[in-house]
Amino acid sequence: MIKHATIKDLAQALGISKSTVSRALADHSDVKPETKRLVLEMAEKMNYRPNPYAQNLIRRRSKVIGVVVPEFVNSFFPRIIIQIQKVFEKEGFNVLITQSGESAEIELKNLHLLENSMVEGIILSVTEKDRNDEYYRRLIDNGIPIVFFNRPSNEVEASKVVIDEENNRIEAVVPKEQFSIAIGRRGQNVKLASQLLNCDIDVLTEEQEAERRSNENKVRSQRFMEALDVDEMIAHLLIAEGFSTVDEVALVPLHELAEIEGFDEDIATELQDRAKEFIAKRDAEFAEKSKTLGIDDTLKTVTGLDQEMILTLAEKGVKTLDDLADLAADELIEMLGENTLSQTEANKVIMAAREHWFENEGQEGGDERK
C-alpha cells in the first residue's frame, strides 16, 4: 500500500510550520513564491495527496450525494444512476450509491450510512411496500434535502421526479418557491429539457401535486365504493396500498389482499368476488352498448383506450379504426375530455390506429413487385 505524506511530514522536512505548508498548498498570497515552490516540490517528492474529506469537513461540505435504489436487476435503475453520476461529477460531486433490496429495514440502514457520511442530499426511490416516512422527515428537518424519484412517498413534502417510460413522460414536483426557477422564463427550461430528453415534462408545485393527488384519490375512492359496494374506509385502504382500478383488485394474488392491515382472507375473498362480478357485468354492458352503437371490433384492440373511452368516442361518431386514425391528438383529447390522456399518450393511440395503413401499403407494394 502506497503511503502518502501528511502536511506534518512536509513541515518537518522543510523546517517550517504546518500552517505555512497548508497556506502554500492553498496558494495563499501571503506566502512567498519561493516558499510555495519548495513546498510543492517537496509535496511531489514525498507523494503528498490532499485529503478531500478533511478539506470538505473544514468547509462544512462533503461534496457527496447519496442515492438509494430498490434494486439493480432492472435496467431502469442502473441507467438512471449513470445519468445522476454524469450530472453531479460535472459539478465536482461524488455519488455514494446504495441498494435497499426492496427492504425498508435495509433502506433505513442505508439512510443512516448516508447521514453519517455527511451527504449534502439524497436521491431516493423508496421500497415497494413499507416506507420510512418519519426518518425521511427527520433528514429533511436536519438540513439534508431529499428528492424522490420514480417511487415517491406521498406522505412527505419533498421534491419528486416520476419517470413514465411507457408514455415517454417525466413529472417533476418542486417547492412553490422554486417553481419559476424550474420552468425558466416562459417555460424555456422545460422546453429545452423536453427537447434534450425527447419526452414530455410536467413541472408542478407541491401544492398542485397534492391537490391533483387528492382529486384522483376522490375519484378512485368513489369508483371502489360503487363497484365493490364498500365504505369509504375500505376504499381508502385499497388506494393506500397502491390499487387504482377494480381490475387490479380482481387479479392480484389473494394473499396480497389478505395482508392489508385490517383485512383477512375472508374479506379479501369477498372483495375479489365482488370485483370479478363487477367486471363481468361491466363487460357484458360494454358488449351490448358496442353492438347498439355499431362499434367495430378492431377499435376495441387499440392499446391506450379503455371501455369508457371507446364508448365516449363512439357516441361522438368515432366507431372504426379508420375513424380514430383520421383524428389528430388534440381532437382525441378534446373528445375524451381533460385529464384523460396526455399529448404523448394521445399521439401513441393515434399512431397505433394508423398502423394498419402502413401494413396495407407494404402489402400493396409487395403485390406490385410480383
Residue 61 in grid coordinates: 461540505
The rounded distance, in Å, linking the Cα atoms of 112 and 120 is 14
Sign of CA dihedral 31, 36, 42, 45: positive
What integer pLDDT is reported at residue 182 of this predicted model? 61
Average pLDDT over residues 118-124: 89
The rounded distance, in Å, linking the Cα atoms of 9 and 262 is 66
The answer to whether residue 120 scores a pLDDT higher than 70 is yes
Confidence of residue 370 (pLDDT cuts 50, 70, 90): very low
What integer pLDDT is reported at residue 58 of this predicted model? 46
Q: What is the pTM of this model?
A: 0.55
Mean of per-residue pLDDT scores for the chain = 83
The rounded distance, in Å, linking the Cα atoms of 94 and 258 is 44
* Neighbouring C-beta atoms of residue 310, cutoff 10 Å: 21
Residues 331-355: b if buried by 16+ CB within 10 A, e if exposed: ebbebbeeebbbebbbbbbbebbbe
Residues 54-72: tens digit of each pLDDT = 555 444 557 889 999 998 8
Query: Which secondary-structure segment (H or E) carries 159?
Result: strand 159-164
* Neighbouring C-beta atoms of residue 148, cutoff 10 Å: 21
Sign of CA dihedral 318, 322, 326, 328: positive
| Contact assessment for residue 254 and residue 268, using Cβ atoms and an 8 Å cutoff | yes
What is the percentage of the chain residues whose pLDDT exceeds 90?
Answer: 35
The answer to whether residue 273 scores a pLDDT higher than 90 is yes
The rounded distance, in Å, linking the Cα atoms of 333 and 116 is 50
Which of 176-190, 201-215, 307-321, 326-340 is predicted most confidently? 307-321
Residues 275-310: tens digit of each pLDDT = 999 999 999 999 999 999 999 999 999 988 999 999
Residue 115 in grid coordinates: 447521514
Residue 15: φ, ψ to 5°: 70, 35
What is the side-by-side strand order in the sheet with 121-124?
94-99, 64-69, 121-124, 146-149, 159-164, 169-174, 200-205
Residues 17-36: tens digit of each pLDDT = 888 888 888 778 888 889 98
**Which long-range contacts does 180-186 make (Cβ < 8 Å, 24+ apart)?**
none
Residue 168 in grid coordinates: 415517454
Among 313, 272, 266, residue whose Cα is nearest residue 294: 313
